[in-house]
Every structure is written in structure tokens, then in C-alpha cells.
Amino acid sequence: MRIATAHTYDTAIANLQERQQKLSISQQQLTSGKRVNVASDDPTAAARAERALASMARHEANQRTLDASRNVMNIASGALGNATDLLQTARETLVAAGNGSYSDGERKALAMKLSDIRNQLLSVANRSDGGGGYVFGGQGSSSPPFVDGAGGVVYQGQGGETLASTDEHLNLSVDGDQIWLKGKTGNGVFNTAPAGNTITSTPNTGTAWITSGSVASPTQVPYPAATQPGPTYTVAFHVTGATTTYDILEDGNPISSGQTYNTGKEIGIPGKGMSVAITGAPADGDSFAITEAQNNLNIFNSLDSTIAALKSTNQPAGAVMQAVNSGMTQIDAAMRSIQGAQSAVGEQLNRMDGIETRIADLKLAAQTEKSNAEDLDMVAAISGFQNQQTGYQAALQSYASVQKLSLFQYING
């Protein structure tokens, strides 16, 4: 078979170009550190890398959302801590106001202190989240959600929570309406309050006052009632000479009668698992009521009523002690609401640590998948590049030698 010289040259040049192209591709891979630089290098691997890249972007977005939620929850936790401190100060102020030797002017000064605490609480409730919103704005509010008006503080936000659009439950706000205006009243189970004098149809005229009460047997307590409103229990007093007795009524019907009254001694509601203490000297016809606790405690309005009571002048000792005791009961109820919210926020912050770990693990898995799909094995690539380089140099030398093998060069030589 005859092989033409031109064919030999063409074959050699094509081989050199092929080797040079492979060498160029290897050099590009070594420079970029990637085996797949364009989709045509390996369409399947390129698709895997693209899916992994999209997954990484989602996880990074979830991380940014988590950071935003954590920021709001940290602000909320700090605000609720501030509120607890303020309420504790208010409680201590009320304890001082119960000093029987204080004058009306001294109690008025304490009322002014309570008023300042109340205003600070309002500022805490309207705390900004640093991004144009409000921590306790519920489902969103472009202006402070708690507004102080003539009738007291009202909530102008939308109740509920703003949640991030992720698979995880991440809050971007807190339900301020529930925390600040819908706490559980009384001792959390029932309320106590003066019910008025049944003879004169006026407020109680004696010096007696009632405590917030306690639960002795939870299984007997009639609250929460199956039907609303729940039953009302009344402790009604009768004074004859030096003898004071009381009756206990359920919705106006006697369930205990003619019990001897001893100031400060616990009075149990028969068969209901509840007891209260009444201290002082009740007048004939004075009465006190026990009703079911409700979810409508407005922290600010409660402080307003206590402040108004302390500012009143010429109040009998019983009325002062009742105002102080009722105010302390309401503050305790408010602190329960605040501390419950603080626990919920703390739990969310703890849960976020776990979410952050999962996001980091998923992001690392996506990065590993992307690396496996497109990254270059540097050791194998360098070895291959050196082999290709050696082969290319040999091919060049071979071609240079073949070029000299012609009849004309032989004759000339």
C-alpha cells in the first residue's frame, strides 16, 4: 500500500492539534481547580452541581431568615426582662404604700412613681425591632401598636404573630395583645373583690379587705366552668353587737351560714377547693365576691386603677389596704403573663440553635455534592497533565524528524 508524504504530514498535524487541545483543557482544569467548567464538559455532573448550588442558595436564605428571627426574639427577651424588673419595682412600691402610717401625700408620691413605671412599661411594649417594625406588633404594625388614650391603653395592631416563610416556625414578631392586654386575672384561677354592702347598696363601709386567695384542692375547683359565666361565690357578713358572722353563697344560694369570723383567718369555700383570707373589721352587710379568672388583664389599665386609688384622699384604712392588695394581685398576674411569654421566647431561641445546626449540615451536604460533581482530583490531574505534556513534546520531536525524511533532502544531503 502506498502512503503519500502529504497524508503522513496531515495525520501528524491532526494528532498534534488533538494533543494540544487536550493539553489546553487539562491546563484550564488545573487553573480553575474544576473538572467541569462548562456544561458540555460533563452534562450530568453540571446538572448535579447546579442542583446543589440551588440548594445552597435556599439554605443561605433560610439562615438569613433565622438570623432575622433570632434578632427579634433577642429584643423581645430583653424587653420582657425589662418589663419584669419594672413590675417588680411597682410591686415593691405598692408594699410601701400599704404602710398604715403613710399620709395621703406620701401615698400620692408613690402613685407618681407608679405612674412613671407605667409609662416606662408602655415604652417597652412599643419597642422597635430595628427594621421599621415593632417587636410586639403582632401580624404587623407600621406605627406603635399600643396607644395611650382617654380610656386607657388600647392595642391598634393585628393580634397574632408574623411568621417567616420557611419550613420552620420562625417568628418575626410577638403577639403583644395576648401578653400585655389579655393576661389571666386574679390568682390565675379566680378573682376576689369587694362586692358592696347588701343593706345600704353602697360600697363596703367597714375596714375589711380580701386577699387574692389560694387553691387548696385543684380537683374541686369549679373553674373553668362548663358554662359561662361560672358561678359567683359571695362571703356576706352580719354584725350583731360584738359578734361578727358570715354566710357563703353560690349564685345567691347559701351553702354555709352563721360561721364565726376571725380576722385574717382562712375562709374555705365548702367543697370547692378554694380559700380566701379577709382581714379587718367588716360592717354589717359588707360582702366580698369570688368569680372565675378571665383572660382580659390589661396591665396598663390595672396600674391606672391602682394609681387612682392611691391618689384618693381621706380613704379608710380598709379601702387603702384593699387597693394595695388588689394592685399587688394584678401585678403578680401581669408578671405571670410576662414570664410565660419570656419562657416561650427563650424556648424559641433554644430551638433556633437546633435549626441553625440543621441548616449548616444541609448546606455542607450541598457543598459536598457540588464539589463531588465538578471539582478536580488535583493529584490525578497533575499526573495526567505531565503525561500529556511529555506526549506532546514527543509528538513534536517525531514530527520534526519525519519532516527531514524526503527524497529531495536525501539528494541534497
pLDDT digits (tens, 9 = 90+) for 374-386: 766 666 667 766 7
Dihedral sign from CA coordinates of 64, 65, 70, 75: positive
pLDDT digits (tens, 9 = 90+) for 250-283: 999 999 999 999 999 999 999 999 999 999 999 9
With 70 as the cut, is the pLDDT of residue 39 above it? no
Angstrom distance (rounded) from CA 318 to CA 328: 15
Q: What value does the mean pLDDT take over residues 326-337?
A: 94
Q: What's the pLDDT score for residue 383?
A: 72
With 80 as the cut, is the pLDDT of residue 211 above it? yes
Q: What's the pLDDT score for residue 132?
A: 84
With 80 as the cut, is the pLDDT of residue 46 above it? no
With 80 as the cut, is the pLDDT of residue 147 above it? yes
Which residues have a Cβ under 8 Å from the Cβ of 156 and sit 6 or more positions away?
141, 143, 145, 146, 147
Interhelix angle 5-32/378-403, rounded to 10 degrees, is 160
Angstrom distance (rounded) from CA 386 to CA 76: 62
With 80 as the cut, is the pLDDT of residue 84 above it? yes
Give the residue with greater pLDDT, 336 vs 43: 336
Q: pTM higher than 0.85, yes or no? A: no
Q: What CA–CA distances, in Å, run from 286 to 200, 275, 291?
A: 9, 18, 17
Q: Which range is most confident: 45-49, 242-246, 366-370, 389-393? A: 242-246
Q: What's the pLDDT score for residue 127?
A: 94
Element (H, E) at 284: none
Element (H, E) at 242: none
Per the listing, cell 390568682 goes with 187
- Single out the residue of 327, 334, 301 nearest to residue 96, CA to CA: 327
Q: What's the pLDDT score for residue 25?
A: 67
Angle among Cα 90, 336, 310 to the nearest 5 degrees reads: 30
pLDDT digits (tens, 9 = 90+) for 89-105: 999 999 999 888 888 99
Give the residue with greater pLDDT, 239 vs 385: 239
Q: What's the pLDDT score for residue 198?
A: 93
With 90 as the cut, is the pLDDT of residue 337 above it? yes
Q: Which of 132-136, 341-345, 388-392 has the lowest mean pLDDT?
A: 388-392
For the chain, what are the domain ranges?
A: 38-185+298-375, 191-293
With 80 as the cut, is the pLDDT of residue 403 above it? no
Is residue 138 a contact partner of residue 129, using CB atoms and an 8 Å limit? no
Q: What's the pLDDT score for residue 407?
A: 57
pLDDT digits (tens, 9 = 90+) for 161-198: 887 877 778 888 899 999 999 999 999 999 999 999 99
Angstrom distance (rounded) from CA 317 to CA 60: 64
Angstrom distance (rounded) from CA 413 to CA 411: 5
Q: What's the pLDDT score for residue 268?
A: 95
Q: What's the pLDDT score for residue 161?
A: 84
Q: What value does the mean pLDDT take over residues 297-308?
A: 94
Q: What's the pLDDT score for residue 317?
A: 83
Per-residue confidence at 369, pLDDT binned at 50, 70, 90?
Answer: confident
Which residues have a Cβ under 8 Å from the Cβ of 287 and sit 6 or more positions away?
194, 195, 196, 197, 198, 204, 234, 235, 236, 237
- The four Cα atoms 191, 192, 197, 199 give a dihedral, to 10 degrees, of 70
CATH superfamily of the 38-185+298-375 domain: f41 fragment of flagellin, N-terminal domain (1.20.1330.10)
Mean pLDDT, all residues of the chain: 86
Angstrom distance (rounded) from CA 194 to CA 288: 4
